[in-house]
Structure 1
Amino acid sequence: MSHVVRRRPDARLILLLGALAACGPLATDMYLPSLPAIAQTFGVAPGVAQSTLTSFMAGFSIGMLLYGPVSDAYGRRPVLLGGIALFTLSSVACAFSFSVGSLVFVRFLQALGAGAASVLARAIARDAHEPADAARVLSMVAIVTAVGPLLAPLIGGQLLLLGGWRVVFAVLTLFGALCATAAWLRVPETWPPEKRASPAVLKSFAAYGRLLRDPVVWGHMLCGGMAFASMFTYISATPFVYIEHFHVSPQRYGFFFGANVFGIMIGNFLNTRFVGRFGSLRIISVAATVSSAASLFVALVCVTGWGGLWSIVVGLFFVVGVVGLLSANCATDLMHRYPHNAGAAAAVFGAMQLALGALASIVVGLWHDTTPTGMGFTIGAAGLLCYAGRLMLVRWHDRPVSESVTGRMAP
C-alpha cells in the first residue's frame, strides 16, 4: 500500500504562497484610494467606477471554479503558473485602459489570473497536511498575505500623488512578474499523477454537483461567504464614505484600511494558536457569532449616525478581523470532507465567497450616494446570513457525506 508523505512546508514556501495569494488582494486594495480619481478621469458616477471592483470579483470567482477541477486533473503547478502569467499581462492592459468599459474588461481578465493563486494555495496546503495542520498553515499563509493589503492602500495613496492611478497597475505588473518567476523556481507539485481525476477534467467538474447537494457545504459557504461579503461591502463603499462623506484624505484612508488588515492578521494568529486545541468547527462557530454581532452593530450606527465615523471604524474592525480566520477553517474543513476533490472543494468555496462579494458590491452601489446608509443595510443583511450558515453547520456537520448528500447512508 502506498502512503502519501505529509510534510510541513518550510518558511520560504509559506512566504511564497502568501505572496502569490496576495495578488488578488493587492489588485483590489492598492487601487482603492484611486476609485474617486478613476470616476473623475472617465467622467462617470461612483457606482460605475465601483463596477471595476465588481468585474474583478466576478472574474476571480469564475477563475477559481475553473482552476480547482483543472488542477485536480492536471496538477497544481502548471495551473498556478498559467494563472500568474495571465495576471501579469492583464495588469499591463489595465495601465493602458482609456475607457471605463475597457478597464472593467481587463480587470475581469486580471482576476481570472489572480484566482489561480488563491484557490491553489489552499489546495497545496491541504495536499500536504492533516486538517489541524492545514488550518494552521493556511492561517500562516493568510498572515503573510495580509501584509500586502496592510500596506497596499498606503502605497496606492502615495502612487496616486506620484503619477496617478495608472502607476498603480504598473506596480502590480512588476509584482506579478516577480511572483511568476518565484513560482517557476520554487513552487513544487503537490498533487501526484496517481491521485489525479479520471477521466480528466470532466470527472472533476462533476464533483460540483455532489458538493452543492451537501448542506454542510452550504453552511461553510454562508459562514465564510457572507463574512467576506461584509468585508467586500466595506472595501467597495468606504473609499466614498470615508473620503467624500467624512472628508478623510486618500492618504489617511490607507491607515484606516491598514488597521482592519491588522485585525485580520490578529485573527489568523489566534487561529494558529487555538485551532489544534478546539478544532475548526468550534472556531467557526465563535467567529461567525462575532462577525454577525459586529455586522449588526455597524448596520445600526451607519443607519442612525450614532457615534459618527469612529463607531463605524471600531465595528468594522471586528467584522473584518474574523474574515481570514473563517476562510481558513471553513475551506480546510470542507477540503478534508472531500479529500479526493480538494481542488474542486476549495474552488467552490472560494468562488462563492467572491460571488457574494461581487453581489454585495452591486447592492451597495444601488444607493448611488456617498452616505453610510447603503453600506449599513448591506453589512447587516450579510451578518444575519452568516449566522444562518453557522446554524446549518452546527446541525449538519457530524452527518456523514453520503447521508448528507443522498439523505441516506451509502450501502
Structure 2
Amino acid sequence: MPHSPRRRPDGRLILLLGALAACGPLATDMYLPSLPAIAQSFGVSAAAAARTLTSFMAGFSIGMLLYGPLSDAYGRRPVLLGGIALFTLASIACWFSYSIGELTVVRFLQALGAGAASVLARAIARDAHEPSDAAKVLSMVAIVTSIGPLLAPLIGGQLLLLGGWRVVFVALTLFGLACAAAAWLRVPETWPAEKRESGAVLRSFMAYERLLRDPLVWGHMLCGGMAFAAMFTYISATPFVYIEYFHVSPQHYGLFFGVNVFGIMLGNFLNTRFIGRMGTLRMVSMASTVSIAASFFVALVCVTGWGGLWSIVAGLFFVVGVVGLLGANCATDLMYRYPKNAGAAAAVFGATQLALGAFASVVVGWFPGVSPVGMGCTIGACGALTWVGRRIVVKWHGRPAPGVNQAASDA
C-alpha cells in the first residue's frame, strides 16, 4: 500500500507536538517552587523532598529509552497515547500522595509517561517530513516547548499561593487530560504498518547496540549532549551565583532566565530560516562552534572575574541560545541515518542529553561556596567535550553506518 507523500509543516501539528513535548519541562519547573512546602508538609528534610526531583529525572530518561523502540515496533500513536495516559494517572496519584516515599514513586511513573512525548515528537516530525523540513519542524516544536520553562515557575508559584502544593498536580492532571484529548483527535499515525516489526520487539531494542557501535552517534551525543549539559549547569548554578553571589533579586533573576529562554527561541527560529539552504552538518558545525567559544568565554570570565556579572550573562546567552538548534539538527541527522529505527535514535540521543545534563549539575555542586568559579569550570569542560563531539561528527559524517547492508535495506 503506497503511503502519502510527505507534506509541508502543519502549524497546528507543530503547536500540538510542542505542547506534548512540554509535559516533562512543565512537570519539573512548575513543581520547583513547591519543594520547600512539600518538605514541610511531610515533615522531611529538603534533601528528601529533592529526591522526588531526582526520581522524576530517572523516570524521564528510562521512559525515553523504552518508548523509542516500542514506537518503532507498534507505531507512534498508541505508544504516545499510552505515555500521556500514564502521565495523567500518575499526576492524579501525586495529587493524592500522603508520604514522601509514595510521592517519590509516583513522580517516577509520571516522568515515565512524560518521556513518550519528548521522544515521539521528534520521531513524528521525522516520519512526516523530509530531512531539512524535519529539522525545521523540530526547531519550531522547540520554540513552542520553550514557553513552558519560561512560564512554569511563575505559574507554579501562583498555584502554591492559591491552594498549596497539591494544586500544582491538579493543574498537571488537567494539562495531561487536555494533551490526551488533543493527541487522540489530532495526532495521526506517521509510522505505517508495513515498516513495523511488531513480532520483533527485542530486535527493536537491539537497535541500541547497533547505534552505539557508530562513531557518528557518539559524536552527536557528545556534541549535542555536552552543549545541553552546559545549559543544565547554568540552570543549576545561576540561582546561587546570581542571587547569593551577585545579589540579584529573585524577581530580576526571573528576567535573566527569560532572556536566555528568548535566546533558545531565537536560535531555533534562525534554524528554521537557514536549515533548508545549509543542511544539518553545516548547522551542527556552526552552532557547536558558537557553543564552544561561548563556553570558553564563560569559563574565562567566571574564573578571572573579568567584566563581572554582565560578562557572564552575555556569554551564557550564546551558550544557552544554540542548545535547541544543535539538538534539533543532531537528532534529525541520526534519525535519517537510521530510518527504520528513528524512534530508538531519537531516544538514545534524548536520554544521553538528559543524563549528561544531570551529571553536569551534580559536578557543579561539588565546588564549594556560591562563587562563579565552579559554574565556569564545569561549563568550560562541557565546551571542550562539545569540541571533541564536533570533531567526530565532521570526520564521520557521510561515512556508512555499521551494518551498511542492513541500513540500505532499511531506507
1:44 to 2:34 alignment: no
Contact 1:68 / 1:120 at 8 angstroms: preserved in 2? yes
1:362, 1:389 → 2: CA distance?
21
Unmatched segments (≥5 aa) in structure 2:
407-411
Q: Deviations over 1:39-80 (max 9, x none)?
A: 6765535x6655444332221111111000000010101111
Q: How many residues in Structure 1 have an aligned counterpart in Structure 2?
A: 405
Which amino acid in structure 1 is aligned with residue 22 of structure 2? A
Contact 2:22 / 2:148 at 8 angstroms: preserved in 1? yes
Contact 1:54 / 1:361 at 8 angstroms: preserved in 2? no
SS of equivalent residue, structure 1 residue 279: helix
Unmatched segments (≥5 aa) in structure 1:
407-411
Question: Which residue of the partner structure matches residue 21 of structure 2?
Answer: 21
Percentage of matched positions with identical amino acids? 80
Give TM-score scaled by structure 1 length: 0.90
Question: Which residue of the partner structure matches residue 409 of structure 2?
Answer: none
Question: Which residue of the partner structure matches residue 71 of structure 2?
Answer: 71
Contact 2:295 / 2:319 at 8 angstroms: preserved in 1? yes
Which amino acid in structure 1 is aligned with residue 355 of structure 2? A
1:113-192 mapped onto 2 (5 Å cutoff): 113-192=113-192
Question: Which residue of the partner structure matches residue 85 of structure 2?
Answer: 85
Question: Which residue of the partner structure matches residue 344 of structure 1?
Answer: 344
Describe the shift of the 1:301–1:355 C-alpha distance in structure 2 as closer, same or farther (beyond 3 A). same
Contact 1:94 / 1:107 at 8 angstroms: preserved in 2? yes
1:233, 1:50 → 2: CA distance?
17
Contact 1:154 / 1:255 at 8 angstroms: preserved in 2? no
Question: Which residue of the partner structure matches residue 389 of structure 1?
Answer: 389
Which amino acid in structure 2 is aligned with residue 359 of structure 1? F
Describe the shift of the 1:90–1:198 C-alpha distance in structure 2 as closer, same or farther (beyond 3 A). closer
Which amino acid in structure 1 is aligned with residue 314 of structure 2? V
1:240 Cα deviation after fit:
3.6
Question: Which residue of the partner structure matches residue 94 of structure 1?
Answer: 94
1:140-289 mapped onto 2 (5 Å cutoff): 140-289=140-289
1:176 Cα deviation after fit:
1.5
Contact 1:150 / 1:257 at 8 angstroms: preserved in 2? yes
Describe the shift of the 1:102–1:251 C-alpha distance in structure 2 as closer, same or farther (beyond 3 A). farther
1:282 Cα deviation after fit:
0.7
Contact 2:227 / 2:291 at 8 angstroms: preserved in 1? yes
SS of equivalent residue, structure 2 residue 206: helix
CA RMSD of aligned residues (A): 2.5
Question: Which residue of the partner structure matches residue 364 of structure 1?
Answer: 364
2:136, 2:350 → 1: CA distance?
18
1:164 Cα deviation after fit:
4.4
2:96, 2:364 → 1: CA distance?
28
Moved more, 247-256 or 73-82: 247-256
Moved more, 307-316 or 277-286: 307-316
Describe the shift of the 1:182–1:336 C-alpha distance in structure 2 as closer, same or farther (beyond 3 A). same
Which amino acid in structure 1 is aligned with residue 281 of structure 2? L
1:100 Cα deviation after fit:
5.0
Which amino acid in structure 1 is aligned with residue 363 of structure 2? V
2:89, 2:387 → 1: CA distance?
40
1:14 Cα deviation after fit:
1.1
Q: Deviations over 1:270-309 (max 9, x none)?
A: 0000011111111101111111222222223333444343
Contact 1:214 / 1:405 at 8 angstroms: preserved in 2? no
1:38, 1:247 → 2: CA distance?
27
1:113 Cα deviation after fit:
0.9
1:378, 1:110 → 2: CA distance?
30
Question: Which residue of the partner structure matches residue 330 of structure 1?
Answer: 330
Contact 1:36 / 1:240 at 8 angstroms: preserved in 2? no
Give TM-score scaled by structure 2 length: 0.90
Which amino acid in structure 2 is aligned with residue 156 of structure 1? G
Describe the shift of the 1:15–1:29 C-alpha distance in structure 2 as closer, same or farther (beyond 3 A). same
Contact 1:50 / 1:361 at 8 angstroms: preserved in 2? no
1:149 Cα deviation after fit:
1.9
2:50, 2:367 → 1: CA distance?
12
Contact 1:158 / 1:251 at 8 angstroms: preserved in 2? no
Question: Which residue of the partner structure matches residue 107 of structure 1?
Answer: 107
